[in-house]
Amino acid sequence: MTTKVYDAIVVGSGATGGWAAKQLAEKGLDVLVLEAGPQIDPKRDYKQHYFPYHLPFRGFGNREELERKQPIQSRCYACNEYGNHFFVNDLDHPYTTPPDRPFSYIRGRQVGGRTLMWGRQSYRLSDYDLKAASRDGWGEDWPIEYKDLAPYYDIVERFIGVSGMPENLPQLPDGIFLPPMPMTCGELQLKRGVEEYAKKIGNPFLRVTIGRTAILTRKPLDDALGTRKPCHYCGRCESGCHTGSYFSSLHATLPAALRTGRATLVTDAVVSHIVLDRNTGRAKGVYYVDAVTRAHREVFGRMIFLCAGALESTRILLNSRSLDGAEGICNSSGVLGHYLMDHMMGGGARGTLPNLPTKPFFRDGRPNGIYIPRFVNLERRDRPFLRGYGFQGGSGQSLWQHAKTLPGFGADFKRRVREEHPWGISLGGFGEVLPYYENHVRLNKDVVDAFGIPVLHIDVEYKDNEKKMVVDMGETAAELLEAAGAKDITISRGPMSIPGHGIHECGTARMGNDPKKSVLNKFNQAHDIPNIFVTDGACYVSIGTQNPTLTYMAITARACDYAVEELRAGRI
C-alpha cells in the first residue's frame, strides 16, 4: 500500500490557510488543508438576518451557559447568541497564565476560522512600521521592505475586495480600492475639524478617513468565482454573511482552491505536531487527532505551511520533537515563543455634537467606521514614548440610549426620547505594543486540551511605554473631538485592555535575516528546517498600529510564490 505524499500540507483554513491553499493549488501543487474544526453550513449556522425576537435569549445568549463554557470567548462582543458557535468552548481548549497576568485568547475553530467573525479592517504596513527599529533603536527591523510586499498587497486586494479612500499618506500606503463607504455628517464634521487642527499644529500626517474594509461595495476586481455580492448593509457581519460580501476564506479563497481540483480539505483535524524524516532531518508529515472519533492519523507532504494562527502555529512547533528527541523544532535561535504582541486599547474619548439636528433620520447598517492612522513619533519623536497609535471610531445618532441622560418624566419625556436623537462621536486608540523578549508562550505539559495535546502557558504584560501611550491616547482623542466642536467629552486614559483582547496576537516565530535572532527567513521559511513555512501572525517582528490580517495574506502570497519556485528547483 502506498501512502500519498502531498506537495504541500496547509494547517489551518482561516485568512492565511485559505490564501495558501488558493495560491499553491492554482500554481499546480497538490494541496491538503487540515482544519481543526467542522464544516460550516451558512443556511444552518448564519444568523445574519435574525431579529432579537427570533432568539430565545433575545440575542444576548444564555449568560449562565456562556460563563460556564465560554468565559474567555464571551469577552468578545461577537460571542453572543448570534455567533457564539463560531468561538471555541473554553473547557475543551484551555490555556494557562500567571495569576496576575491574564490573557484573552479569542479563537474560532471551523472552516474559515476567525474570518467568519473578524473586524475586516484592512490596512497596509509601511516602512515606518517595517523599519521602525532603524528609526528609534528598539528591537529589530523586518527583513523585508514595503516594496517587497506592495505587489502582494495588490494581488490580495484585487481578490478579496477592499473599499476605501486614497489619502496619499506615507505612513498608510494606499491600495487598490473599491468605492468607499460614505461618512455620516458627524464624521464629516470631525474630518473638517481635524484637518484644521492638523494645519494649526503643523502635522501633515494627521487625517480622518473612512475605514478600509474587506467588504464589497461593488463586484471585486478579481471575480473568477462570481458568487460574492455587494454588501446590502444589514450590519450583522459577525453573525455570518450569506452573500459573501465581506471577505472570508469560506466564501472566497477556499472555493477558489477547491475549484482547481488540486486541493483537498479535511475537517475536524486537530494537528498535534510535525513529524521529521530521520534520513533528511526535514519535515515529512503532520500528526493530527480526529476531533470526532479521537483517532490519531498522520499525513505526508513535501512542504508544511503553518497557518493555524500565531499562537497555535507556535504551539505545534513547540510540541514537535527534533531528531535527537529534544522538545521543540525550528528553535536553534532560542526565540521561538518569544516577542508576543497584541494591540493595546483603553485610551480614547467620546462626546456629543450639539450643532447637528436631533431629528431622527434613516440609519443603514454600514459595517464600517472611521480611521485616523498613526500621526505621532513619525519623522521625529514628539511624545514621551516609542512608536504610536491610531484611532478607530465613528459618529451617529443614539436610538434610545439617550433616554438614560435626558431629564424629566411623563409624556414630554417620552416624546423627547422618540423625537430627539442626539449625535454622539467616539474615538478609541489602537496602540503599538513593543516586542519584549519576556512576553512569551511555552508549553504547559501539566494541562492538556480535550484531545490530549499540551496547552500553552501565556505570559504577557504591558510595560511603562504602553502605560504612557494609553494616557496620551485619551488626551489626544479629546483634543481631536474638541477641534470638531464636540461637547460633554468624556476621556478614557485607561485601564489598558487585557493583552489578547485586541485579537491581533502576533509574534512568537518572528522573521529575520540572522538565524541566531529569528525563527524564519524573509520568505517565512524556517531557518532550521527549510520545508516548513509559517505565514500567519507568528512571523511578525513588530506589530505597528494597523489591523494585521491584510498583511498576513500578503505575506502568505509572497511566501507561496517563493516556496513553489524552491520546490520545483529541487531545493525543498
Tens of pLDDT, residue by residue over 278-294, are 999 999 999 999 999 99
Give tens-digit pLDDT for 96-152. Answer: 999 999 999 999 999 999 999 999 999 999 999 999 999 999 999 999 999 999 999
What's residue 48's pLDDT?
Answer: 87
* Residue 134 phi, psi dihedral angles, 5° rounding: -65, -25
Nearest to 172 by CA among 122, 113, 124: 124
Cell of 89: 468552548
User: Which whole number is the average pLDDT over 546-550?
Assistant: 98
Q: What is the pTM of this model?
A: 0.96
Higher pLDDT, 415 or 88: 88
pLDDT band at 475; cut points 50, 70, 90? very high
pLDDT band at 362; cut points 50, 70, 90? low
Please answer whether residues 497 and 345 qualify as being in contact, where contact means their C-beta atoms are separated by less than 8 angstroms.
Answer: yes
Nearest to 561 by CA among 113, 84, 8: 8
pLDDT band at 2; cut points 50, 70, 90? low
Nearest to 431 by CA among 468, 394, 480, 479: 468
What's residue 330's pLDDT?
Answer: 98
User: Which whole number is the average pLDDT over 59-74?
Assistant: 91
pLDDT band at 1; cut points 50, 70, 90? very low
Q: Residue 343: how many CA atoms within 13 Å on its side-chain side?
A: 22
What's residue 260's pLDDT?
Answer: 97
Give tens-digit pLDDT for 378-397. Answer: 999 999 999 999 999 999 98
Give tens-digit pLDDT for 210-243. Answer: 999 999 999 877 777 788 999 999 988 989 999 9
User: Which whole number is the average pLDDT over 440-451?
Assistant: 98
Q: Show the DSSP H helices in 260-396 as ranges.
A: 310-319
Hey, how many other C-beta atoms are within 10 angstroms of the C-beta on 458? 26
Cα 286 from Cα 303, distance rounded (Å): 10
Please answer whether residues 144 and 137 qualify as being in contact, where contact means their C-beta atoms are separated by less than 8 angstroms.
Answer: no
Cα 471 from Cα 486, distance rounded (Å): 20
User: Which whole number is the average pLDDT over 359-373?
Assistant: 87
**Is residue 315 scored above 60 in pLDDT?**
yes
Give tens-digit pLDDT for 52-63. Answer: 888 888 888 888
What's residue 419's pLDDT?
Answer: 81
**Is residue 312 scored above 50 in pLDDT?**
yes
